[in-house]
């Protein structure tokens, strides 16, 4: 064997890197192993081979570096003796390999008993160093005996070395076991005290002198045939094998391999399933747990394990039905996780290694082929996934069938001693695997929040995982623990039986997996939708909502319940500084959340577990390329165990979660005691604490440059609030007093308190400097005036329900008093006091406080004034009507309750016929999610709850009534919210106001009233963006690519629809805004456009609150075409209420009266077209339905209703509708002789809209006059004039003629207008009127509104 | 001038056929003494005859059939030195002629007799009902009122006068193809049920005027 080099073990250890080598890379397997001579030769030829290893540097320790030359290892394969504890696996799995230089662990694929303790040539091998570089494992793939050794035919047997060969003739060791080795247990030790008396007195007792008895159990299936039973020696057994081939191995026999034979386990585990003969045994009766007893055969020093000399065909146990345990699973290891406790096989089956001694951990690497015997099939009840688990027990054996070359790291796991380890050991298979997943989840989720020790715990302290798991797991997830004897012997009592009674377990998955799962679900949902549409035969399912000719894709919203998802969310609540949204956060990611009952604006660092929630997915139904979106299922156990790489792929998808704070569980309850209460000394020293009561009435939206302000320390976050005319006081109390005592002393303390107040009042009255001239207390405060003041003080005890949520003080009793801070008489105060309005300014470090502040909720704010009596007007902290809220300031949410039930009924102002809306839902329907719960229902989640008890005395009752009245009144004052119908009425008031042609300058300023409006959002779309870039609608919802954008919101109720337009910043864009949402728009401006059409505008102070959302699903291929007049804001039902009239009757009408007539366009006699001043005003997203960028300052139409002709003047939208531009702009128009109808290619540049735009871009302004005779104003008498000097081409002229002709071929329309008065007529071009004498005779009408005719409705109205 | 003279009067065909022609230049018709020259009707196309220079069709509005003529001779005029702008008009009229199909509900207006000015296809079948009601409304509120100006020497004919010898022949030709009961059936059906989408309604049997059920 020329060229073969011999490596020593010390060489391998010195290099200490993964190596693989073979003695013969080319020679056939039959080639004889090298002789010693040739070996020596080769060594001489190739001096010691450090260069062989060093010349092949392996930069990557994760890859096996193959040795390119044939190498050979020569050494002795032996068992580890007890005195050598080489590695943790040495007792159970490892053999040793030594060549005199060193000794390492060793694993042999095809182990033969005859090589134990003999020198072998290792022909093919892998070497894997340990991590600590102090050793390694040699994986022997092929070996051979040296020729000299092979000649010696030694019996293939295991026996005790002859050191103890002092044959004791008295030793009764005639028993033997002959049969199939079915299973063996790991090596275990039994404390000496528990040894049976027999063992203690046994002749081999000297073997146990070390203390504990160490050994393992083996289950051997023996044959009970006569021949076997009568064979008394090994030779008989061999002969019986030879003679009788009809053995039936069915009788189970336990053999207890006691030290020193316990060393044999690494060999015996290779013999499982084979026929073995164990001789030299001693029969014993062993009691287990004092109840059960088993007949066992214990090994002695004379014990020998041998194989039959003659091969015998044994019926294999493989495939034998041993349900639910038993069987063999062979597979490739595809993942090893959690220190080898969870092993993935073939990418689908999981092997749960319950005892590290069971698995050959050195070799159990990814890529290895293993066979597992005697395991338990388990189908864990996991709610989020289905899987197959192979549970291991004391009988399980895991054997390596092929070593791995793909992974090089060796694992070693020690027996867990921590509390968590004990917990895991006490669980059933499912629960145990669940805990492993949970550990992995928690470690990933809280990587930066908690240390490993906090998560996993230690020997003495429970970690987060254990606390959570022990609370979560039901009692039947725990199983009673037995010793090794019991477990091994009672194997048939399967522990996995209890699995079936387990409730499905849910897992708190990392948020990155959750988001990825949502994306996968969304893609799956859309692809299913696509398939359905393909089946139906439609080419696409994109729905369009068309607003003013601009097409917008309709959104889809799906609400999925947590029951359907099957996992739990967990994380901390945090307000995202970038988006301003409330999020549930863990170390892997974040998800937006909506909490309807969140009232507090003080978010703590607690970890919340959310079991019950609703997931909302909303986005556009994009056409999906299945290949593009391929998701590795994020909830596979593999992806939970390993570091899951997550990259958000779907920009158009918006994911958020709604849940109630009341349904959550807080994992680590942090102290939630207000700072002013924590320091009790402080409380005592100050004596009394006073708080202002605030009712938040409005929040000014955060603008987009908020993040810049973090640096500059300035702020633009504001909120409006009313200051309640009562202040809240806390008085010093004896904390040690018992609840009952305090209750009994309540009255007393109250009187004390009044005395105290008196003192303070006197003190206060002696300080005239604090009183300004506006105060109602005279400066010359006399005793009388003070008494007068005392009399006017009202004190309302807030007894025994002043509680702080989630605090240790919950249920504690803190007497507090409401005192009127105003000096006027109580009754008068409440009736007439003007609401004191203050502005809350939030510093940039209190952004989360601002975001969580709720409109219409009460808060308490600590007063910095030390005096007891504090006027709202005079208080220092409310000076200048502004309060600065920084991170130190606490705004505690406050809820009230009274002894009797009190309904907060906002006063409805119906005097103007306008109805208000009560906002804040109480019930939710199916597929509807509440975003805001009404304040009455969420008292439990407020920071502070104040229970006002009715006093026994009559004055107290009056005061209480006064407080109630004040509460109700303040709520009513916080603003009336209108319905859409009421809003339309207000807008109609603007419309009906008589108008003619107004000064365009005056329309540049936004003027109007602010209203608050509630309604259902029908659609939201962009119509402009300051970025100037072409953005599509899909970014509206996602909001990570824009800072401010102009949106158009269509809001309706059951009857009417309005449109709200305006700019909104990303921070102010609420979660869930989109079709199907019910929203309240606070402080929206009602104004008029330049064409005097009333409209609603979002201003920089408008604030949008989403109340609820519903599921939205688009209908296939449905395009919602709405004429512009419908979209303008006014519902046709309302417009139809105007009386129908005839043009011929208009002469009798007064000028200002709006009349409606049903007419058709006969001719156009005057038309001015201009290019739109803001060219980018309309988005490109709906290119195919795009309206041309045309402005129509004035147009004159001849209309005919059958009774007469009239000359109608219109501009902008009305003129566009009368011109039918919305119909024609998407038609093609060619310059040739023929024009076609609708363009085949809608994106063509030949559409009328495009061409008209081009003309106007070139000429800026075109004026068209018609000098024909009424009514046959054909286009032959048209004249064109322009602002520019450009030449007007024929094709351009043709286009304009076509538009005019086309306008005269329309159907009937409804026109609402009023007669033009003489003043307005004068503003019209006099020349124009003079030149068209025929027009002059007609009635002049200014068109206010144009809309389509609904023949059925109008016919009905005519009959009614 | 009477304001209705320039307007397109909405009359039922039965009334249009009774109009008295006043021999003037241009010829003028009168309705109850009031001069009219243009009319508008809504009905179903029940007959169609297309020639090179014109399209002749009958519109049945339930009360009768009115003959309409749509001149298609603009191209002839162009080739004989007419205005070049006529080609646009010619294109549009040609297009209109294409939409005049049997069974279509159309709205037609033009000079009386009726020389069609434009044709619009109505998508909503209720438009016909509304037209009837508009006719009634206009008759009540406008046409039947005393004329502001009457033509000198015009004589209001009695209804029977409309059915002279010539008219009787026309009457046979222009007899309504759809019975009045059908007329009211449609009316009541339309008004008494919820708004149907135009496409959802079953096609009315307008398409075949020879159907005996008419």
Q: Which of B86, B122, B138 lies closest to A1202 in CB terms?
A: B138
Nearest Cβ partner for A1200 among B8, B133, B134: B8
pLDDT digit string, tens, across residues A793-821: 445 555 434 445 444 333 333 434 455 44
Edge to edge, the sheet with strand B28-31 lists B20-22, B28-31, B34-36
- Nearest residue in chain B measured CA to CA from A1140: B137
Whether the per-residue pLDDT at A1183 is higher than 90: the answer is no
pLDDT digits (tens, 9 = 90+) for A149-168: 666 666 667 777 655 444 44
Nearest partner of A260 among A116, A112, A159, judged by Cα: A159
How many angstroms separate the CA atoms of A1304 and A1270, rounded? 13
A1273 to chain B: which residues are within 8 Å by CB? none
Q: How many alpha carbons lie under 13 Å from residue B42 in its C-beta half-sphere?
A: 21
What six digits make up the tokens of A1085? Answer: 């401006």
| pLDDT per position as a tens digit, A735-750 | 433 333 333 333 343 3
Smallest CA–CA distance from A1339 into chain B, residue: B3
pLDDT at position A778 is 30
Report the alpha-carbon angle A418-A467-A942, nearest 5. 155
The reply to whether residue B7 touches residue A1142, judged by beta carbons under 8 angstroms, is: no
Residue that wins the pLDDT comparison between A1181 and A1076: A1076
- Per CB-CB distance under 8 Å, the chain A contacts of B191 are 1352, 1355-1356, 1359
| Chain A residues inside the 8 Å CB shell of B41 | none
Residue B2 sits at the chain A interface (C-beta within 8 Å): no
Supply the mean pLDDT for chain A.
71
Looking at mean pLDDT, say which of A107-111, A786-790, B202-206 comes out highest. A107-111
What pLDDT does A1340 receive?
A: 85
pLDDT in tens, A642-653: 877 777 777 778
Using a CB-CB distance cutoff of 8 angstroms, which residues of chain A are in contact with residue B10?
A: 1202
| Residue A920 pLDDT class (50, 70, 90 cuts) | low
Give A607's strand partners: A572
More confident residue, A1288 or A873: A1288
Which of B7, B85, B130 lies at the smallest CB-CB distance from A1200?
B7
Q: What percent of chain A has pLDDT over 70?
A: 61
Residue of B nearest to A1299 (CA): B88
Task: Quick: pLDDT tens for A4-17.
Answer: 788 888 888 888 88
* Mean pLDDT, residues A537-549: 51
SS3 A547: strand
Which of chain B's residues have a Cβ under 8 Å away from the Cβ of A1302? 92
Question: Which residue blocks in A46-146 are alpha helix, DSSP H?
Answer: 50-54
What is the mean pLDDT of the segment spanning B179-188?
55
Conformation bin of residue A1045: beta by default, left when phi > 0, alpha when psi is -120 to 50: beta
d(CA A794, CA A963): 10
B116, closest residue in chain A (CA to CA): A1305
Give the chain A residue nearest B75 (alpha carbons): A1233
Question: Strand, helix or coil at B179?
Answer: coil
pLDDT digits (tens, 9 = 90+) for B54-78: 899 999 988 888 889 898 887 776 6
Q: Which residues in chain B touch residue A1235, judged by CB atoms under 8 angstroms apart?
A: 91
Q: Is B142 on the interface with A (CB under 8 A)?
A: yes
Confidence of residue A333 (pLDDT cuts 50, 70, 90): very high
Picking from A1203, A1298, A1356, the nearest residue to B138 by CB comes out as A1203
Please, are residues B5 and B37 in contact by the beta-carbon 8 Å criterion?
yes
CA distance A1236 to B93: 13
Q: How confident is the model at residue A544 (pLDDT cuts 50, 70, 90)?
A: low
- pLDDT for A657 equals 93
- Tell whether the model's pLDDT for residue A1107 goes beyond 80: yes
Nearest-CA residue of chain B relative to A1200? B7
Buried b (16+ CB within 10 A) or exposed e, A390-406: bbbbbbbbbbbeebbbe
Cβ-nearest to A1297 among B88, B127, B195: B88
Contact A1276 B92 (CB under 8 A): no
Averaged pLDDT, A702-706? 64
Q: Do B88 and A1304 touch (CB under 8 A)?
A: no
On whether any CB of chain A is under 8 Å from the CB of B188, the answer is: no
Q: Is B94 on the interface with A (CB under 8 A)?
A: no
- B88 vs A1274: CB contact, 8 Å cut-off? no
Measured CA to CA, the distance from residue A603 to residue A573 in angstroms comes to 7
Out of A1144, A1274, A1307, closest to residue B3 by CB: A1144
Cα distances (angstroms) measured from residue A854 to each of A599, A976, A1254: 7, 16, 51
- Closest residue in B to A1296 (Cα) is B88
Share of chain A above pLDDT 90, in %: 4
- Interchain proximity A1352–B4, CB inside 8 Å: no
Min CA distance, A1203 vs chain B (Å)?
5
Q: Do A1233 and B87 touch (CB under 8 A)?
A: yes
Q: What is the pLDDT of residue A438?
A: 92
The pLDDT confidence band at residue B194, using thresholds 50, 70 and 90, is very low
Q: Do A1144 and B10 touch (CB under 8 A)?
A: no
Backbone phi, then psi, for B116, in 5-degree steps? -70, 130
Instruction: Write out the residues of chain A at the interface with chain B, using a CB-CB cutoff of 8 A.
Output: 1142-1145, 1158, 1160, 1162, 1200-1205, 1233-1235, 1237, 1270-1271, 1274-1276, 1294, 1297-1298, 1301-1302, 1304-1308, 1337, 1349-1356, 1358-1359
Contact of B40 with chain A, judged by CB distance below 8 Å, is answered with yes
CA distance to partner chain B, nearest, from residue A1335 (Å): 12
Closest CA to A97 of A188, A7, A1, A159: A7
Q: Which pLDDT band, with edges at 50, 70 and 90, does B87 fall under?
A: confident
Judge: A1358–B130 Cβ closer than 8 Å, yes or no: yes
Q: Please give the pLDDT value at position A814.
A: 40
Contacts of A1352 in chain B (CB under 8 A): 124, 126, 129-130, 190-191, 195
pLDDT at A1273 over 70: no
Q: Is the dihedral angle over the CA atoms A580, A585, A591, A597 positive or is it negative? A: negative
**In 3D, which of A857, A801, A852, A791 has the Cα closest to residue A824?**
A791
Q: Sort out which chain B residues have CB atoms less than 8 A from A1270's CB and list them.
A: 6
A869 with A694: CB under 8 angstroms?
Answer: no
B138 contact residues in A (CB cutoff 8 A):
1142, 1202-1203
Alpha-carbon gap, residue A1024 to A1177, rounded angstroms: 5
Which residues in chain A have their CB less than 8 angstroms from residue B89's CB? 1274-1275, 1301
The residue in chain A having the minimum alpha-carbon distance to the alpha carbon of residue B129 is A1355
- B31 interaction partners in chain A (CB closer than 8 Å): none
ipTM of the complex: 0.73
Contact A111, A270 (CB under 8 A): yes
């Amino acid at each position: 064997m020329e060229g073969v080099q011999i490596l020593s073990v010390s060489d391998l250890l010195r290099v200490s890197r993964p190596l693989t080598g073979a003695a013969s890379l080319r020679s056939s397997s039959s080639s004889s192993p090298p002789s010693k001579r040739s070996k020596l030769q080769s060594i001489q030829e190739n001096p010691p081979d450090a260069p062989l290893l060093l010349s092949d540097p392996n930069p990557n320790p994760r890859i096996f570096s193959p040795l390119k030359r044939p190498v050979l290892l020569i050494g002795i394969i032996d068992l580890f003796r007890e005195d050598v504890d080489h590695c943790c696996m040495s007792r159970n799995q490892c053999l040793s390999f030594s060549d005199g230089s060193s000794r390492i662990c060793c694993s042999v694929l095809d182990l033969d008993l005859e090589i134990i303790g003999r020198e072998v040539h290792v022909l093919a091998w892998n070497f894997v160093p340990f991590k600590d570089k102090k050793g390694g494992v040699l994986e022997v793939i092929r070996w051979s005996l040296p020729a000299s050794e092979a000649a010696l035919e030694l019996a293939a047997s295991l026996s005790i070395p002859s050191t103890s060969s002092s044959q004791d003739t008295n030793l009764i060791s005639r028993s033997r076991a002959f049969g199939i080795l079915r299973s063996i247990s790991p090596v275990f030790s039994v404390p000496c005290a528990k040894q049976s008396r027999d063992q203690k007195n046994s002749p081999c007792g000297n073997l146990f002198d070390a203390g504990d008895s160490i050994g393992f159990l083996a289950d051997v299936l023996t044959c009970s045939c006569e021949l076997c039973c009568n064979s008394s020696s090994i030779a008989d057994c061999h002969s019986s094998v030879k003679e009788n081939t009809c053995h039936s191995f069915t009788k189970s026999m336990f053999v207890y391999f006691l030290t020193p034979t316990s060393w044999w386990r690494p060999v015996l585990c290779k013999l499982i399933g084979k026929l073995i003969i164990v001789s030299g045994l001693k029969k014993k009766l062993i009691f287990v747990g004092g109840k059960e007893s088993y007949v066992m055969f214990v090994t002695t020093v004379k014990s020998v394990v041998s194989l039959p000399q003659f091969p015998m065909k044994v019926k294999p146990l493989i495939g034998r039905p041993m349900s639910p345990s038993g069987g063999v699973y062979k597979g490739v290891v595809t993942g090893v996780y959690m220190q080898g406790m969870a092993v993935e096989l073939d990418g689908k089956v999981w092997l749960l290694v319950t005892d590290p001694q069971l698995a050959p951990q050195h070799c159990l690497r990814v890529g290895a082929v293993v066979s597992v015997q005697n395991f338990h099939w388990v189908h864990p009840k996991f709610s989020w996934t289905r899987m197959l688990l192979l549970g291991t027990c004391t009988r399980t054996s895991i054997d390596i069938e092929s070593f791995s070359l793909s992974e090089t790291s060796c694992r070693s796991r020690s027996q867990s001693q921590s509390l968590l380890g004990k917990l895991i050991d006490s669980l059933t298979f499912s629960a145990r695997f669940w805990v492993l997943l949970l550990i992995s989840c928690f470690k990933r989720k809280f990587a930066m929040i908690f240390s490993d020790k906090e998560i996993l715990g230690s020997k003495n302290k429970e970690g987060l995982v254990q606390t959570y798991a022990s609370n979560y797991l039901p009692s039947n997830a725990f199983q009673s623990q037995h010793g090794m004897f019991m477990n091994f012997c009672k194997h048939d009592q399967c522990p996995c039986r209890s699995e079936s009674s387990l409730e499905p377990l849910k897992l708190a998955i990392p948020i990155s997996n959750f988001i990825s799962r949502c994306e996968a679900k969304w893609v799956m949902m859309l692809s299913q939708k696509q398939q359905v549409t393909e089946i139906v035969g439609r080419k696409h399912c994109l729905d369009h909502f068309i607003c003013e000719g601009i097409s917008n894709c309709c959104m889809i919203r799906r609400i999925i319940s947590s029951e359907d998802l099957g996992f739990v969310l967990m994380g901390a609540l945090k307000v995202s500084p970038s988006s301003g949204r409330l999020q549930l956060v863990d170390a892997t990611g974040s998800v937006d959340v909506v909490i309807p009952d969140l009232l507090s604006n003080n978010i703590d660092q607690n970890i919340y577990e959310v079991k019950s929630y609703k997931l909302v997915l909303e986005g556009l139904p994009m056409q999906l390329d299945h290949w593009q979106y391929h998701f590795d299922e994020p909830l596979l156990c593999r992806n939970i165990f390993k570091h899951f790489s997550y990259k958000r792929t779907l920009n158009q998808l918006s994911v958020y979660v709604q849940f109630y704070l009341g349904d959550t569980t807080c994992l680590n309850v942090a102290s939630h005691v207000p700072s002013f209460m924590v320091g009790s000394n402080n409380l005592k020293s100050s004596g009394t604490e006073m708080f202002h009561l605030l009712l938040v009435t409005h929040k000014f939206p955060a603008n987009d440059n908020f993040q810049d302000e973090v640096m500059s320390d300035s702020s633009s976050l504001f909120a409006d609030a009313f200051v309640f005319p009562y202040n809240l006081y806390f008085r010093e109390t004896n904390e040690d007093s018992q609840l009952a005592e305090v209750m009994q002393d309540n009255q007393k303390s109250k009187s004390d308190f009044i005395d105290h107040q008196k003192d303070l009042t006197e003190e206060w009255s002696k300080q005239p400097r604090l009183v300004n001239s506006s105060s109602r207390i005279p400066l010359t405060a006399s005793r009388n005036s003070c008494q007068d003041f005392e009399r006017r003080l009202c004190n309302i005890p807030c007894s025994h329900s002043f509680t702080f949520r989630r605090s240790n003080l919950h249920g504690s009793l803190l007497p507090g008093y409401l005192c009127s801070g105003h000096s006027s008489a109580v009754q008068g105060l409440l009736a007439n006091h003007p609401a004191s309005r203050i502005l809350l300014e939030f510093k940039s470090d209190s952004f989360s406080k601002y975001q969580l502040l709720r409109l219409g909720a009460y808060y308490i704010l600590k007063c910095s004034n030390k005096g007891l009596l504090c006027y709202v007007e005079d208080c220092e902290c409310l000076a200048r009507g502004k309060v600065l809220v920084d991170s130190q300031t606490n705004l505690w949410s406050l809820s009230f309750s009274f002894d009797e039930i009190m309904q907060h009924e906002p006063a409805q102002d119906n005097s103007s016929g306008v109805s208000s809306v009560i906002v804040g839902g109480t019930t939710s329907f199916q597929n509807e999610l509440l975003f805001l719960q009404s304040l009455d229902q969420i008292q439990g989640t407020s920071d502070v709850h104040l229970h006002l008890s009715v006093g026994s005395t009559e004055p107290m009752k009056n005061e209480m009534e006064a407080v109630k009245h004040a509460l109700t009144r303040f709520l009513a004052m916080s603003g009336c919210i209108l319905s859409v119908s009421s809003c339309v009425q207000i807008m109609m008031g603007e419309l009906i106001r008589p108008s003619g042609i107004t000064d365009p300058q005056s329309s540049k300023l936004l003027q109007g009233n602010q209203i608050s409006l509630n309604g259902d959002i029908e659609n939201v779309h962009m119509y402009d963006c300051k970025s100037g870039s072409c953005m599509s609608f899909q970014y509206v919802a996602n909001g990570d690519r824009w800072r401010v954008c102009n949106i158009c919101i269509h809001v309706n109720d059951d009857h009417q629809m309005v449109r709200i337009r305006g700019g909104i910043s990303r921070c102010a864009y609420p979660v869930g805004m989109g079709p199907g949402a019910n929203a309240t728009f606070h402080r929206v401006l009602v104004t008029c456009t330049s064409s005097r059409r009333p409209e609603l505008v979002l201003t920089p102070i408008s604030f949008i609150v989403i109340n609820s959302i519903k599921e939205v699903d688009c209908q296939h291929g449905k395009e919602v075409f709405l004429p512009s007049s419908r979209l303008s804001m006014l519902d046709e039902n309302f417009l139809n209420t105007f009386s129908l009239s005839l043009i011929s009757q208009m002469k009798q009408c007064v000028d200002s009266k709006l009349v409606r007539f049903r007419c058709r366009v006969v001719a156009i006699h005057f038309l001015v077209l201009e290019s739109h001043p803001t060219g980018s005003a309309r988005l490109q997203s709906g290119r195919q339905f795009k309206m041309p960028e045309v402005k129509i300052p004035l147009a004159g139409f001849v209309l005919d209703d059958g009774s007469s002709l009239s000359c109608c003047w219109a501009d902008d939208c009305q003129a566009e509708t009368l011109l039918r531009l919305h119909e024609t702009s998407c038609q093609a128009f060619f310059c040739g002789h023929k024009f076609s109808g609708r363009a085949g290619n809608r994106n063509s540049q030949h559409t009328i809209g495009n061409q008209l735009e081009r003309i106007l871009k070139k000429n800026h302004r075109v004026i068209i006059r018609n000098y024909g005779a009424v009514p046959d104003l054909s286009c032959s008498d048209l004249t064109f004039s322009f602002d520019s000097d450009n030449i007007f081409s024929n094709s351009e002229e043709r286009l304009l003629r076509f538009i005019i002709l086309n306008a005269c071929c329309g159907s009937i329309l409804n026109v609402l207008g009023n007669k033009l008065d003489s003043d307005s007529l004068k503003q019209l071009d006099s020349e124009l009127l003079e030149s068209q004498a025929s027009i002059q005779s007609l009635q002049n009408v200014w068109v206010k509104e144009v809309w389509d005719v609904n023949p059925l409705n109008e016919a009905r109205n005519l009959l009614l | 001038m009477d304001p209705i003279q320039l307007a397109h009067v909405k009359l039922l065909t039965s009334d249009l056929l009774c109009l008295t022609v006043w021999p003037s230049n241009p010829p003028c018709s009168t309705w109850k003494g009031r001069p009219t020259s243009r009319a508008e009707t809504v009905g179903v196309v029940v007959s169609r005859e297309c020639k090179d220079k014109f399209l002749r069709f009958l519109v049945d509005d339930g009360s009768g059939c009115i003959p309409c003529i749509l001149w298609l001779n603009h191209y002839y005029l162009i080739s004989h030195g007419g205005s070049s702008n006529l080609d646009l008009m010619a294109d549009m009229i040609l297009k209109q002629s294409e939409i005049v199909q049997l069974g279509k509900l159309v709205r037609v207006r033009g000079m009386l007799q009726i020389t069609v000015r434009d044709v619009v296809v109505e998508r909503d079948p209720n438009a016909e009902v509304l037209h009837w009601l508009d006719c009634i409304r206009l008759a009540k509120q406008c046409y039947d009122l005393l004329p502001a100006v009457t033509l000198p020497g015009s004589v209001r004919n009695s209804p029977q006068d409309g059915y002279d010898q010539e008219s009787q022949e026309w009457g046979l030709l222009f007899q309504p193809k759809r019975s009045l009961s059908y007329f009211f059936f449609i009316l009541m059906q339309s008004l008494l049920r919820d708004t149907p989408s135009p496409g959802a309604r079953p096609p009315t049997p307008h398409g075949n005027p020879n159907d005996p059920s008419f």
